[in-house]
Structure 1
Amino acid sequence: MPKRVAVDEVAAHNERMWERLAKAGIPYTRPQGSPPKTKAGKRRFLDELTDGSLGAFETHGKRVLCLAGGGGWHAILFAELGADATLFDISSRQLETVRRVARRRGTKLTYVRGDMRDLSVLGNGEFDLVYHNHSIVFVPDAGRVIAEVARVLAVGGLYIFSTMHPVTIRMYEGWTGTGWRFKKRYFDDGPIPIVDPTWEFGKIRVRAPTLEYGHRTADLVKACAGSGLVIDGLWEYSPSYEGGPAGSEDDLERQLPAFIRFRARKIGAPAKSPSAANGSRRRTDPPAPPAFAPPPGYSRPNPRRTRGR
């Protein structure tokens, strides 16, 4: 499958980790559940997946990009509800998983493999909606992603994205026996330290030390503002509020939100402030990502998209 060249070593590393996770078949890498067969049922299923953030967005006839969205139902459901849907992800295995499901259902999608920070294969103003679920956490320079999204959005288009909550992500694995501590200061940049990189779901156990970044809320807001995006929705939430044993993730997520979700609309030309456009404070903004060091056997493919069943 054609792909875009990885932007840097972070992308190359996380690509390898997600290929490993997808090979093991963890739930995050494949569609879960079964959508209803009716149009109304599919829309309800999609609204549940997106936590209602779509609002009154009408999918029929719209151009939708599911960014870093391999493995889920989102792209398939958007297409079956009348959208011209494109699925963009760094993991070839996740793209192939969705392709197989879509083929069985007779659903047409466009597939692109690449780093979410490099959308150069996509045109200016090409999409009415960019849906970006729980994956901006895997890149250090979220502002670059947001600027690229703003470029490919049509004026009036929506960008809906979510990530790990910047406070809570710094506290996982931080149980002291009597309370929670921060593993990393809120104001410090760089990847979040991970004590045990094992992903465990039932009988599946995979060691995959992904690089994850706790993007500060203010930086994400400034990146949107600097790219001509106006935020009109904000949610902080956890998958469950029932709690669990002291020191468990469920216990932490009962007290603090696991995720934060933004909905933003493109209003026109972005602001000219460099510091606002990249979404970070001046002292932390890198001038450019480091050069990509190709791993053994890596080749530069033809950057084009594929479409089919």
Structure 2
Amino acid sequence: MEIMDHNKHSWELKVKQRNPWTVPVNIEDIQRAKNNDWSITVTTTKPVPKEWFPELSGKQVLCLASGGGQQGPILAAAGAHVMVLDFSKSQLEQDAFVAERDQLTLQTVLGSMTDLSMFASESFDLIVHPVSNLYVPDIALVWEEAFRVLKPGGVLISGFMNPVFYLFDWELEEKGILQVKHSIPYSELDYSSEEEIMRSGIALEFGHTLEAQVQGQIRAGFIIAGFYEDTFGGKKLLDQYTSSFIATKAIKLV
């Protein structure tokens, strides 16, 4: 099946439904960022440590698969030159809306996180990549392209799913039961037919191994310099036992 087209359509629907990750930041958030009082998340509840970021003023920043009017506008208000890439036109429209509303300099580009060929090598000082690589089956391309377009000394801040999240039966978890059902790496295509997936309208997800996530960044050339975990903030049963999200800071040394 056409995975990217299916997931793109799913996110267009999420914008119409006002999914939390499609709702732009408010004017007050932007004003605080202009006064150097800001934070962003790349997972769910925990803000990225401020010390993970370079001085933003004048820096070239790529918000990778990061539409929705959240991370990009905040970083632009803090002084960065921001480019937001996403495969959802409606998500990018959220960033454009905030930029116009709050008079920010921010650009958007429609595209896939696995193909950054529109950007020259060593174009960016910082890449911010919130939880999104669960929507592509091969994340090696994401790490390789991120490494290519970063300048030497550049930083990649990423959020992604802890693969343990994908082990359990979804329906039983909603009933308060954790029962292992799936194997890792996970693909919904292994458990549902294409017809069922298309009919559901739900985005097709892939649960990548920790080796693909962490060693994948190292293999691409990065040095891992920061790590933390996050939960759904108590909204999921699994939160009582472990964290479902991971964030890393990776540096391109050469």
Same fold (TM > 0.5):
yes
Task: Label 1:20 to 1:131 Cα distance change in 2 as closer, same or farther (>3 A).
Answer: same
Task: Label 1:253 to 1:82 Cα distance change in 2 as closer, same or farther (>3 A).
Answer: same
Q: CA RMSD in A?
A: 2.7
In structure 1, give the amino acid aligned to 2:240. R
1:141 to partner: Cα distance: 0.4
Structure 1 partner of 2:70: 73
Task: Label 1:144 to 1:254 Cα distance change in 2 as closer, same or farther (>3 A).
Answer: same
The answer on 1:184 being equivalent to 2:178 is: no
Number of corresponding residues: 244
Structure 1 partner of 2:11: 18
Considering fraction of residues, name the structure with more helix: 2
The answer on 1:235 being equivalent to 2:228 is: yes
Q: Is the 8 A contact 2:69 2:92 kept in 1?
A: no
1:172 to partner: Cα distance: 5.6
Q: Is the 8 A contact 1:85 1:109 kept in 2?
A: yes
The answer on 1:166 being equivalent to 2:163 is: yes
1:148 to partner: Cα distance: 0.5
1:36 to partner: Cα distance: 5.6
2:48 to 49, 52, 65: 52
The answer on 1:61 being equivalent to 2:58 is: yes
Identity %: 30
The answer on 1:148 being equivalent to 2:148 is: no
In structure 2, give the amino acid aligned to 1:257. S
Equivalents in 1 of 2:117, 2:7: separation in Å? Answer: 20
- 1:72 aligned counterpart, secondary structure: coil
In structure 2, give the amino acid aligned to 1:114. G
Equivalents in 2 of 1:127, 1:189: separation in Å? Answer: 32
Structure 1 partner of 2:245: 259
Structure 1 partner of 2:125: 128
| 1:55-110 C-alpha deviation (Å, 9 max, x unpaired) | 25211111100011110321111111111100000110111122112101111111
Q: Is the 8 A contact 1:47 1:54 kept in 2?
A: no
1:54 to partner: Cα distance: 4.3
- 1:35 aligned counterpart, secondary structure: helix
1:189 to partner: Cα distance: 4.6
The aligned runs of 1:197-208 (5 Å cut-off) are: 208=201
Q: Is the 8 A contact 2:41 2:130 kept in 1?
A: no
- 1:51 aligned counterpart, secondary structure: coil
Structure-2-length-normalised TM-score: 0.86
1:52 to partner: Cα distance: 2.7
Bigger mean CA offset, 52-61 vs 156-165: 52-61
Equivalents in 2 of 1:172, 1:267: separation in Å? Answer: 41
Structure-1-length-normalised TM-score: 0.71
Which ranges of structure 1 fall in alignment gaps of 5 or more residues?
1-7, 199-206, 242-248, 269-309
Larger Rg: 1
Equivalents in 1 of 2:33, 2:47: separation in Å? Answer: 18
Task: Label 1:50 to 1:155 Cα distance change in 2 as closer, same or farther (>3 A).
Answer: farther
Equivalents in 1 of 2:146, 2:225: separation in Å? Answer: 17
Structure 2 partner of 1:202: none
- 2:207 aligned counterpart, secondary structure: coil
In structure 1, give the amino acid aligned to 2:201. A
The aligned runs of 1:78-97 (5 Å cut-off) are: 78-97=75-94
| 1:151-173 C-alpha deviation (Å, 9 max, x unpaired) | 00111111111112110133261
Q: Is the 8 A contact 1:66 1:86 kept in 2?
A: yes
Q: Is the 8 A contact 2:129 2:157 kept in 1?
A: yes
Structure 2 partner of 1:9: 2
Which ranges of structure 2 fall in alignment gaps of 5 or more residues?
none
Equivalents in 1 of 2:9, 2:71: separation in Å? Answer: 23
Q: Is the 8 A contact 1:143 1:223 kept in 2?
A: yes
Equivalents in 1 of 2:49, 2:120: separation in Å? Answer: 25
